[in-house]
C-alpha cells in the first residue's frame, strides 16, 4: 500500500510545483514580482501551504521561474544546434525560440530584486552561457555559408534580442503578444547577407556582455 501511494504523491507534488511555476511566470510578467504569494497560489489552483512547502520564500520562487524558462529555451536550442539543416534556418529558429526568454526579461525589468536574484543564480548563468555558445556556433555557420552578413557577431544578436524582448508596453494584448515574433522577423531581414548600409562601431563580444551583466548586479 505504501509502495503504491509514494509515486502518486511524488507525481502530485511535481504537478503542483509545475502549476505554481507556470502561474508565477504569468503573474510576474504581467504585474511584477511583488504580487502577494497568496495570489500566485490562487492562480495556480493550490493552497498557500502547498506553495510554501514547494517554495519557502519569494526569492526561491523567482529563481525557480528563471531556471525553468532558461532550461526550456536551452533544451530547444540544443535540439536546433544539433540539427543537420540550413544554417540560416537554424539561426532564425534559434532566435524565434529564444523569444520565450521575454518572461525573464520582462520581470527583470520590472524588479531590481529579480534582476539581482537571477544575476547571481548559477543555474541561470550556466544556461545563459550555453545559449550564447550555441548562438555563436550558429552565427559562424551562417556566415560561413554566406547567408548572414559578415560584420555582426553573436553578441550583437544577443543585444538586439534583448531589446526586442523588452516588449511593447501599454499596448493592446494582441500587439504585445505578437511583438517579439514580428520585430524579430524584421530584424532577421536586416541581418541577411546582401548589399546594405555598413554598420558603425564594432561587433559586440562575449566579454562586453559579461561587463554589462556585471554592472546590472
Q: Residue 29's domain is classified under what CATH number?
A: 1.10.10.60
Same domain for 51 and 82: no
**What pLDDT, on a 0 to 100 scale, did the predictor assign at position 49?**
95
Return per-residue pLDDT of the chain as tens, 217 residues.
444 444 455 888 889 999 999 999 999 888 889 999 999 999 999 999 999 999 999 999 999 999 999 999 999 999 998 888 899 999 999 998 888 888 888 778 778 889 999 999 999 999 999 999 999 999 999 999 999 999 999 999 988 888 888 766 656 666 667 777 788 888 888 888 886 667 777 887 878 777 766 766 6
Size of the chain in residues: 217
Same domain for 166 and 82: yes
**What pLDDT, on a 0 to 100 scale, did the predictor assign at position 6?**
40
Same domain for 146 and 92: yes
| Domain stops at, among 56, 72, 102 | 56
Q: Take residue 186 and report the three cell numbers written for it.
A: 524584421
Same domain for 168 and 83: yes
**CATH code of residue 87:** 1.10.357.10
**What pLDDT, on a 0 to 100 scale, did the predictor assign at position 153?**
92
- Write the DSSP string, the chain: -HHHHHHHHHHHHHHHHHHHHHHHHHHHHHH-TTS-HHHHHHHHTS-HHHHHHH-SSHHHHHHHHHHHHHHHHHHHHHHHHT--S-HHHHHHHHHHHHGGGHHHHHHHHH-HHHHHHHHT-HHHHHHHHHHHHHHHHHHHHHHHTT-B-TT--HHHHHHHHHHHHT--TTS-HHHHHHHHHHHHHHHHHHHBSSS-PPPSS-PPPHHHHHHHHHHH-
Question: Does the reported pTM lie above 0.75?
Answer: yes
Q: Are 55 and 18 in contact (CB under 8 A)?
A: no
How far is it, in rounded angstroms, from Cα 39 to Cα 24?
A: 9
Same domain for 68 and 27: no
Same domain for 122 and 140: yes
Same domain for 50 and 15: yes
**What pLDDT, on a 0 to 100 scale, did the predictor assign at position 2?**
42
**What pLDDT, on a 0 to 100 scale, did the predictor assign at position 196?**
67
* Owning domain of residue 18: 1-56
Same domain for 68 and 36: no
The total number of structural domains in the chain stands at 2
Same domain for 8 and 95: no
Same domain for 49 and 36: yes
Same domain for 138 and 186: yes
Report the DSSP beta bridge partners of residue 192.
148
Amino acid at each position: 500500500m505504501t509502495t503504491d501511494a509514494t509515486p502518486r504523491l511524488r507525481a502530485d507534488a511535481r504537478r503542483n510545483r509545475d502549476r505554481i511555476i507556470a502561474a508565477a511566470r504569468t503573474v510576474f510578467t504581467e504585474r511584477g514580482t511583488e504580487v502577494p504569494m497568496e495570489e500566485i497560489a490562487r492562480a495556480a489552483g493550490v493552497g498557500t501551504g502547498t506553495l510554501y512547502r514547494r517554495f519557502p520564500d519569494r526569492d526561491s520562487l523567482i529563481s525557480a521561474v528563471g531556471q525553468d524558462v532558461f532550461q526550456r529555451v536551452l533544451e530547444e536550442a540544443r535540439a536546433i544546434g544539433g540539427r543537420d539543416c540550413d544554417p540560416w534556418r537554424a539561426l532564425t529558429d534559434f532566435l524565434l525560440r529564444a523569444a520565450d526568454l521575454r518572461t525573464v526579461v520582462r520581470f527583470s525589468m520590472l524588479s531590481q530584486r529579480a534582476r539581482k536574484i537571477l544575476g547571481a543564480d548559477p543555474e541561470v548563468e550556466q544556461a545563459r552561457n550555453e545559449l550564447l555558445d550555441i548562438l555563436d556556433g550558429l552565427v559562424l555557420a551562417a556566415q560561413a555559408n554566406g547567408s548572414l552578413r559578415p560584420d555582426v557577431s553573436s553578441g550583437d544578436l544577443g543585444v538586439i534580442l534583448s531589446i526586442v524582448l523588452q516588449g511593447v508596453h501599454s499596448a493592446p494584448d494582441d500587439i504585445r503578444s505578437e511583438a517579439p515574433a514580428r520585430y524579430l522577423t524584421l530584424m532577421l531581414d536586416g541581418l541577411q547577407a546582401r548589399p546594405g548600409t555598413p554598420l558603425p562601431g564594432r561587433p559586440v563580444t562575449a566579454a562586453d556582455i559579461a561587463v554589462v551583466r556585471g554592472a546590472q548586479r
